[in-house]
Amino acid sequence: MGVSTTSPEEGIAVITVDVPPVNALPVQGWYDLAAAVRGAGADPGVRCVVLTATGRGFNAGADIKEMQRTEGYTALVGTNRGCYEAFAAVYDCEVPVVAAVQGFCVGGGIGLVGNADSIVASDDATFGLPELDRGALGAATHLARLVPQHLMRTLYYTSRTVTADELHRHGSVWRVVPRERLHAAALELAREIAAKDGLLIRLAKASINGIDPVDVRRSYRFEQGFTFEANLSGVSDRYREEFVSPRSSKPSRSSKPSRSSKPSQVSEPSEPPDPSKGGAR
């Protein structure tokens, strides 16, 4: 379990996230993922990285339960910095990153795939940001790389999800395949990329990043500031507590600011939306 790297073929590194039950990453998980991606990209023998995950879904974001059971600021600040590092690692990876997405891809998962170079998805994949339902903000920077601006805003404000087929129509998903074909399809694309010259593919990645109209690192950091503000207000902690204890009889925490309010980044769900609901959550 955790984050692992394999080399199934020459020139290709496959990084797999396996954090049951739903691939909601704890603080250390984000750092481990960042280190794995940076390490693969720095390997002169690697010309393409495939980012994949085991289980029902690709990524359910951050582990909210870890945040709520940890006293003080440690888990919240750790998640803040860990997500930033993982998202940046995918974007800055020296070689192209292909994200292979199945099932749910929400919260921090959007940060990962939004910064990837290419996306291959299973036909049951759904994508979204339930941040407002979790007392958080963030990753609109990355969602905006997947859908047009007004759709991004509508999805963000409503916490709805979109399907892989919808993203394929918008041009952000390269290919949609049955789940059992996902790994093979991702490797097929990676193989085509990895067939290029190693130096040239690195220069291509650097040059394309250099002409990007939005600095994704700076943009995401700006978003994180508003999440910090939401935490200081107390509202974030209240929503997270209601999420981890939905049937608790204890009263909800007050939204009044207090010293116990803990600053956070993107507070993704530790459990995903129901993939069976298709395009809307």
Please state, in angstroms and rounded to a whole number, the distance separating the CA atoms of residues 144 and 151: 9
Exposure on the CB side of residue 44, measured as CA atoms within 13 A: 1
Please provide the distance, in angstroms rounded to a whole number, between the alpha carbons at the two ends of the chain: 29
* Count of positions (residues) in the chain: 281
Query: How many Å separate Cα 237 from the centre of its chain?
Result: 21
Predicted pLDDT at 230: 87
pLDDT of residue 247: 54
Give the distance between the most distant pair of CA atoms in the chain: 61
Nearest to 39 by CA among 16, 5, 81, 1: 5
CB 79 within 8 A of CB 264: yes
What pLDDT is attached to residue 265?
A: 38
* Structure token digits, residue 209: 């990043």
- For the record, the structure tokens of 176 come out as 């949609």
Angle formed at CA 131 by CA 87 and CA 167, multiple of 5 degrees: 65
**pLDDT at residue 260, as a whole number:** 43
What pLDDT shows up at residue 246?
66
Those residues with Cβ within 8 angstroms of residue 126's Cβ, 6 or more apart along the chain or in another chain? 103, 104, 105, 106, 161, 162, 163, 164, 273, 275, 277, 278, 279, 281
The residue ranges of the chain whose pLDDT is under 50 are: 248-281
